[in-house]
């Protein structure tokens, strides 16, 4: 469950957010509350000082992702097309995500808009590929669920899409996303989408079929 603590919005653009998100400590499987917040310089500093070296010595497919460069390319312009978020726990960045909230449509129904997850990563010590007793579970799922929350806030009906790195495909299937197959336009990465029918179109269908609503 995502619990809002504070949100600051100006001219339909999110300036800052803080949400409580449940995480699980690997060491003892205890529950702990993290904070999902707007991506800031603090998180990029954690990437530079802590994440980067651990990623470079790993075999993970995102080992050469540069979150500082991503911030400059996608977030620094301030056009309102992209949004960045991070999860903090115990004063350290545990995960980061960049969303595209404008200009992307569902591959299942191209008439509908969705939130596109441009980049999502958990800290190296939180990954199954690099087990660490001091790490946390549920960081990636908390970020992904927040993407759906933003889709609902934007009246996109909870639709979320993304292209997955090969090793993350099982995770997105477990999260209940629809496997859209490989996409030649995105380096043959597999496309996934959280899709649900528009309630308005379901109601129209019921009327067309002569079925009265119980409401």
Q: What is the pLDDT of residues 96-111, one digit of tens each?
A: 999 999 999 999 999 9
Q: Which of 165, 172, 167 is nearest to 143 (CA)?
A: 172
Strand ranges (E), 13-170: 13-25, 31-38, 82-89, 92-100, 115-122, 136-137, 160-164
In a domain, 12, yes or no: no
In a domain, 50, yes or no: yes
pLDDT bracket for residue 30 (50, 70, 90): very high
Q: Give the CATH number for residue 118.
A: 3.40.630.30
In a domain, 13, yes or no: no
For the record, the structure tokens of 169 come out as 């495909």
Q: Would the pLDDT of 202 be above 50?
A: no
**Concatenated DSSP letters for 58-76?**
S--TTTT--HHHHIIIIIT
Share of residues in the chain with pLDDT > 70 (%): 85
Q: Which of 90, 118, 78, 96 is nearest to 37 (CA)?
A: 96
Q: Is residue 126 a contact partner of residue 158, using CB atoms and an 8 Å limit?
A: no
Q: Is residue 151 a contact partner of residue 159, using CB atoms and an 8 Å limit?
A: yes
Q: How far apart are CA 10 and CA 13, in angstroms?
A: 5
CB-based burial label for 83 (10 Å; 0-12, 13-18, 19+)? buried
In a domain, 84, yes or no: yes
Q: Would the pLDDT of 26 be above 90?
A: yes
In a domain, 72, yes or no: yes
In a domain, 4, yes or no: no
In a domain, 182, yes or no: yes
For the chain, what is the radius of gyration of the CA atoms?
18
pLDDT given at position 198: 78
Q: Is residue 105 a contact partner of residue 112, using CB atoms and an 8 Å limit?
A: yes
In the chain, the number of structural domains is 1
Q: Which of 196, 195, 186 is nearest to 163 (CA)?
A: 186
Per the structure, the complete domain to which residue 143 belongs is given by: 18-197
Query: pTM value?
Result: 0.87
In a domain, 188, yes or no: yes
């Amino acid at each position: 469950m995502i619990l809002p603590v504070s949100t600051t919005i100006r001219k339909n653009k999110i300036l800052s957010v803080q949400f409580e998100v449940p995480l699980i400590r690997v060491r003892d499987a205890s529950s702990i509350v993290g904070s999902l917040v707007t991506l800031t310089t603090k998180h990029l500093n954690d990437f530079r000082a802590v994440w980067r070296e651990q990623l470079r010595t790993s075999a993970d497919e995102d080992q050469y992702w540069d979150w500082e460069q991503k911030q400059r390319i996608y977030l620094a312009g301030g056009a309102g097309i992209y949004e960045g978020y991070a999860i903090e726990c115990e004063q350290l960045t545990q995960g980061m995500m960049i969303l595209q909230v404008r200009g992307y449509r569902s591959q299942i129904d191209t008439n509908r808009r969705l939130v596109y997850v441009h980049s999502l990563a958990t800290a190296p010590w939180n990954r199954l590929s690099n087990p660490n007793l001091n790490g946390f579970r549920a960081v990636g799922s908390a970020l992904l669920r927040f993407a759906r929350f933003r889709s609902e806030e934007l009246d996109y009906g909870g639709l979320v899409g993304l292209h997955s790195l090969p090793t993350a495909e099982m995770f997105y299937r477990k999260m209940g996303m629809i496997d859209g197959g490989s996409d030649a336009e995105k380096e043959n990465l597999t496309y996934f989408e959280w899709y649900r029918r528009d309630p308005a179109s379901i109601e129209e269908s019921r009327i067309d079929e002569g079925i009265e609503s119980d409401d």
